[in-house]
Structure 1
Amino acid sequence: MLPEELLEESAEELYEHAPCGYISTRPDGLIIKVNQTFLSWTGYQREELLGRKRFYELLTMAGRIYHETHYAPLLQMQGFVRELSLELVCADRRTIPILLNSVQKKDADGTPLYHRTTLFNATERKRYERELLLERRKAEQLAQSKATLLATISHEIRNPLNALTAATRLLGMTALSEKQEKYLRILVTSSGSLLDLVNDILDWSKIEAGKLSLEQRPFDPRELLRGVVNGMAARAEEKKLLLRAELDERLPASLVGDPVKLGQILTNLTGNALTFTERGSVTLTVAVRAQHAGECSVEFRVSDTGIGIAPDRVAAIFEEYTQASYDIGMRYGGTGLGLAISRKLLELHGSKMSVESEVGKGSCFSFELRLKSGENVPTERPRSTLPEQALRGLRVLLAEDSEVNTYVLTHWFERWGIAFDTVQNGRLAVEQVRKGGYDLVLMDLHMPELNGYEAARTIRQLPDERLHQLPIIAISASAQLSQQGRVRTAGFTDFIGKPFDTDVLFRMMALHTSRELPEPPERPAQEPAREPLEPLASSTAPALDFSLARLEQRAAGDPQVLAALARLTLHELEQARPALRSALAAGAPDKLEHLCQELAGTIRMLDAAALAATLRRAKGLLASDKRAPARVQAVTSAVDWEMETLIEALAGIANQDF
């Protein structure tokens, strides 16, 4: 055993040269003991500190304030302080970042004797934190640069792609020889493949940015699957493959979920199966695995007789930009994003993909979703054909800097009987609009001298009141996720992305110029009696009283136009709803009147008689001297109920993303 003196010497040496600093102070902060490690860090002599300095005197000014407001009160109240970050001022005025732990030592009566403090030199830690922060900023800048690059590349690809698809369609309307028709089919197929590639990349960018979320609305699963199969039928016929769908008879007529994203998953899987199958068949199978308490577990399977996948490559095919092998990528092409996107979309659903495959015999991709059974989905009115003469005589200004896009669009204008002028930048567009006479402006967002955003903003600020209502449609090939908000803020009436369907553009122009559209089928003289509504919790709840007939009439049976119009109306109602609540709560009749005037057009379009009546009651209440809180609360609830009813109805059809 070591002598007691040696043990004491060893303990003292450990204290003096420990890897951390030790100091002991009286309750008033006067330093009474300090180890050599602390002295080495700070450059002080022992005699400078012991009995001469208080601990807070060694801190920076900010540290002294923190000592008085946090450290000292905490130590007094709880008897200890842990992991406080402060800075010491050294003898040569340098500063050292430290992490501090203190404990209060008391006698048997509970009287504080002294404070023992352990200090860790945090210089390396702070340096590491700064490096991490710097790397994080670099990563954020890289992500922003990536998003900007993606938007730029998208713009540069979509501009010529828009011209390519539109010109191809125009070419198909001319007389062609058999050989020219063959070339045209190649052109259509190639431009379609290029568009699929661009869309895959943009979908992946949205997923990475966390901008995707699931909708919950009723849909007809048979209609969804019919659309997937019909969309892929041409590819199957071209390769002489049998494409078939097998549906479980127990499949409900309606399910609640996100049909757009489910359709995208099935389209990706079916498209892959057709791509990698040279002979045989591709089968899409839907089977009900379980039904319980209004929910349904449905298994979706896409199987093929294609080339199959090697076992060691199954996991790799779900990685972004990855094909099963280099040879397959060279032979069949593609981005390698389809399966990665499908996997991410399934993760949003809380599901995952299963794969069974054998090289040379085929593959089977399957997944299972648990979906709620919905009410019977109302059948949609068949899309009516809008006559080309509907836009005849319209006067349009086209602001577009791309000569190719201008050439193609003006040929469509000529076909539709539209009188038009063209300019190449936003400055000239503003000058032309000042001259007047236009029914509508089509404006590219990215132009020299004055871009589309600035041009639209300038037009809306002109003194001519008519220009405040002039329809201005933005056209752009950009893919930036935040663009929609900027377009609305700049004063555009609507937005269409490149490459666009000319039918969609035609209907959008007709919609915003109030041209004659085909009337919806007339209602029978005597409508069948409505099913009684479920009783509500409150007997004072207003009755459901509105109609979407005018909205559908303006859309002329086009689901995309109907969704765009519903989205605009929905946005207006969602913005007005809290403002109405605020006006009623504040008892502000002028503000309420202003809001009612702004909503007047929307109320007329939706035939929202119940909302109109409720707002009249609200205005009457605010105009009277009897504003009992209970009456104000009741009318506020009634207005809110009617707004919620309209919002829910519009949300059901506003499912397209413009």
Structure 2
Amino acid sequence: MSRVDEERTGLEEGQLEESAEELYEHAPCGYISTRPDGLIIKVNQTFLSWTGYQREELLGRKRFYELLTMAGRIFHETHYAPLLRMQGFVRELRLELVCANQLTLPILINSVQKKDAAGTPLLNRTTIFNATERKLYERELLLARRKAEQEAQNKAALLATISHEIRNPLSALTAATRLLGMTPLSEKQEKYLRILAASSGSLLALVNDILDWSKIEAGKLSLEQRPFDPRELLIGIVNGLAARAEEKKLLLRADLDERLPARLLGDPVKLGQILTNLTSNAIKFTERGSVTLTLAVRAQHEGECSVDFRVSDTGIGIAPDQLATIFEEYTQASYDIGMKYGGTGLGLSISRKLLELHGSKMSVESVVGKGSTFSFELRLKTGEDVSTEVPRSAVPEQALRGLRVLLAEDSDVNTYVLTHWLERWGIAFDTVQNGRLAVEQVLKGGYDLVLMDLHMPGLNGYEATRTIRQQPDERLRQLPIIAISASAQLWQHGSVRQAGFTDFISKPFDTDVLFRMMALHTSRELPEPPESPEQEPARPRPEPLASATAPAPDFSLARLEQRADGDPQVRAALARLTLHELEQTRPALRSALAAGAPDKLEHLCQELEGTIRLLDADALAAALRRAKSLLASDKRPPARVQAVTFAVDWEMEALIEALAGIANQDF
């Protein structure tokens, strides 16, 4: 190599060495080297630029931990230094430096300990990253998270408010529809009633789906653990959906494994919701054939049982490329299916989320044009073979007869609907419109159960129940109090339980569910069936016209038939006389209530006593008793007067229509 080449090579090496030093000094991260005792022996310019220190201030003068905040110094002694000694390195530790201007700088550090051949520590090399932007980013993420959580809470509160505003009138609508179905109807009226019932049912299903999804999204759902009978659960679902299957001429059946335990421990409400969603979907998307619910025991261990749940149909099926999307919220298999069959597309998504709470997942098998099968497996503990609920089929209406119930409800329409059913079941009851009056009535004693609306003016249901539970009387602490509300926030069952409520039912409610709940919490036993035909039979009731499952009206024409002694002309004449009396008295009752004239009302009630006994008009008698009680009171809120007038007029109308059908018959 010539001298010129040697000089050029030496120059290039010098340039490279200088470039390496520049890279060290101006790297995008800080570098410091310390002795094992922490004394700083080398530092790059980047670190100095960040902190504002001069090189001579640090080298040989400062230990690394002296540059940290007080909390950082403690962390250095308790975590950083021991870790470095034990494992020879430390990665991704978050600390804060105190800069020359006394401001703090958030940093992330990685340290490596260098040792000699004998394993003696020589120095520590530390790489420092400026975490200012990262900290700002994390703060922005935290603020965004808090904002999202607040928006979710606001959305939940909005849904709760909307729910309350929708479900209250919807409760009255569905209840009035059912009550209307108990009255004599023409064929055209029955058709209109079916449309009304179907539309209100669809609206309720829509509201429930949206609210269920909001509960799951807000993480407010949790699983309960209580004994239930899986056979009873499945049969109840099949019975509840049988009418829809019959309308489409589908065979709906349940296939139960004989090895299925009599009692399982789990959450029957949420499990029932999953199975109901799947079965309802199967019926919706099946035009002919069958829908089958199967419960099969996959494995049994001591105290546990693995159960395979399957819902199969012979419906339209799902295309392979659509199987991945059907569990997404607000999504259906295709636009055409959504347009034809309707629905929110939330049912399967809700079911999937509920199964995730159980630690399980949904599987689906489907062939287009041949049908689908949805299945999942749950491992449930087995429970004792004891009855935990009172089946509706096992408790006749007279089982609640004689109960004393207090109803606290501020809505006159809801009060009327509820008291109608209480009267049907032979329950003695009082009504109040706010929590303060509810507490006063309960303290007077004598009630077997309280139905308490949560949202009332003044003292609400929560406060009223807490007040009752705080009384020294042990009987009041054990008194069954059932919460009633249309609010979506009632999925926060913890607050309901903490307030002291025994149970909860949401509006619009199923009267059968309310009946079972009241029977359960008052420990009403099933009366023994008659052993011989000589026992006095129950009073005959006419068959309802609109629905084969609706309860009979609260009057009977049996006595009128007996007086006619089988003569149709005499029966028609008696009906015309009674009809004339009711038609004459009806406007007089309205007038007495509107004028607030208790004496006139009492006189009219006395005139109607014979007619009420003739027709066994229990509901009209109860409505008149409430009217007399209201007029005897010093306080007569116009809304209460209007509600009582409506109740009396409703019962009078039912009797007039029934009698008119007999009086106008041709012979």
> Is TM-score (shorter-chain normalized) higher than 0.5?
yes
Partner of 2:609: none
User: Take 1:444 and 1:101, find their aligned partners in 2: how far apart are those partners?
Assistant: 62
Contact 1:265 1:342 (C-alpha < 8 Å) held by counterparts: yes
Contact 2:84 2:113 (C-alpha < 8 Å) held by counterparts: yes
The verdict on how the C-alpha distance between 1:11 and 1:355 changes in structure 2, with shifts beyond 3 A counting, is: same
2:345 maps to 1:336: yes
Contact 1:318 1:339 (C-alpha < 8 Å) held by counterparts: yes
Whose Rg is larger?
2
Amino acid corresponding to residue 383 of structure 1 in structure 2: S
Partner of 1:167: 176
Contact 2:174 2:200 (C-alpha < 8 Å) held by counterparts: yes
Q: TM-score, normalised by structure 1?
A: 0.66
Partner of 2:157: 148
Per-residue CA distance 1:503-530 (angstroms, 9 max, x = gap): 443454456567x7434689xxxxxxxx
Alignment of structure 1 residues 311-350 onto 2, 5 Å: 312-344=321-353, 348=358, 350=360
User: Take 1:53 and 1:384, find their aligned partners in 2: how far apart are those partners?
Assistant: 86
Q: Secondary structure at the match of 1:318?
A: coil
Correspondence for 1:353 among 350, 360, 363: 363
2:498 maps to 1:492: no
Correspondence for 1:185 among 191, 194, 213: 194
Instruction: For residue 443 of structure 1, report the CA deviation from its aligned partner.
Output: 1.3
Per-residue CA distance 1:39-68 (angstroms, 9 max, x = gap): 111122222322333323322222233333
Q: TM-score, normalised by structure 2?
A: 0.65
Partner of 2:141: 132
The verdict on how the C-alpha distance between 1:502 and 1:80 changes in structure 2, with shifts beyond 3 A counting, is: closer
Q: Secondary structure at the match of 1:40?
A: helix
User: Take 2:382 and 2:37, find their aligned partners in 1: how far apart are those partners?
Assistant: 73
Correspondence for 1:282 among 287, 290, 307: 290
Partner of 1:501: 510
Per-residue CA distance 1:364-410 (angstroms, 9 max, x = gap): 23436588999999999993343448434x55432212222112122
Instruction: For residue 263 of structure 1, report the CA deviation from its aligned partner.
Output: 5.5
Identity of aligned residues (%): 70
Partner of 1:554: none
Instruction: For residue 319 of structure 1, report the CA deviation from its aligned partner.
Output: 1.5
User: Take 1:383 and 1:246, find their aligned partners in 2: how far apart are those partners?
Assistant: 18
Q: Secondary structure at the match of 2:97?
A: strand
Partner of 1:25: 34
Per-residue CA distance 1:265-292 (angstroms, 9 max, x = gap): 55434422332345x3234375989999
Instruction: For residue 215 of structure 1, report the CA deviation from its aligned partner.
Output: 7.0
Instruction: For residue 416 of structure 1, report the CA deviation from its aligned partner.
Output: 4.2
User: Take 2:500 and 2:452, find their aligned partners in 1: how far apart are those partners?
Assistant: 12
Contact 2:41 2:59 (C-alpha < 8 Å) held by counterparts: yes
The verdict on how the C-alpha distance between 1:177 and 1:293 changes in structure 2, with shifts beyond 3 A counting, is: same
Amino acid corresponding to residue 190 of structure 1 in structure 2: S
Partner of 2:19: 10
Per-residue CA distance 1:98-150 (angstroms, 9 max, x = gap): 11233334455555443332211111221222222223323333343344344
User: Take 2:146 and 2:51, find their aligned partners in 1: how far apart are those partners?
Assistant: 33
Q: Which has the higher contact order (CA 8 A, sep 6+)?
A: 2
The verdict on how the C-alpha distance between 1:272 and 1:490 changes in structure 2, with shifts beyond 3 A counting, is: closer
Partner of 1:391: 401
Contact 2:286 2:313 (C-alpha < 8 Å) held by counterparts: no
Alignment of structure 1 residues 425-440 onto 2, 5 Å: 425-434=434-443, 438-440=447-449
Partner of 2:630: none
User: Take 1:513 and 1:286, find their aligned partners in 2: how far apart are those partners?
Assistant: 34
Partner of 1:572: none
Partner of 1:364: 372
Aligned residues: 513
User: Take 1:71 and 1:113, find their aligned partners in 2: how far apart are those partners?
Assistant: 17
Correspondence for 1:58 among 63, 67, 84: 67
Instruction: For residue 206 of structure 1, report the CA deviation from its aligned partner.
Output: 5.1
The verdict on how the C-alpha distance between 1:493 and 1:101 changes in structure 2, with shifts beyond 3 A counting, is: closer
Per-residue CA distance 1:463-495 (angstroms, 9 max, x = gap): 666644544332222344664333333233443
Amino acid corresponding to residue 448 of structure 1 in structure 2: P
Alignment of structure 1 residues 214-613 onto 2, 5 Å: 227-239=236-248, 241-245=249-253, 251-254=257-260, 264-278=273-287, 280-284=288-292, 300=310, 302-306=312-316, 309=318, 312-344=321-353, 348=358, 350=360, 352-358=362-368, 361=369, 363-367=371-375, 369=377, 383-388=393-398, 390-392=400-402, 395-434=404-443, 438-462=447-471, 467-480=476-489, 483-506=492-515, 508-509=517-518, 517-519=525-527
Amino acid corresponding to residue 116 of structure 1 in structure 2: R
RMSD of aligned residue pairs (Cα, Å)? 4.2
User: Take 2:471 and 2:503, find their aligned partners in 1: how far apart are those partners?
Assistant: 20
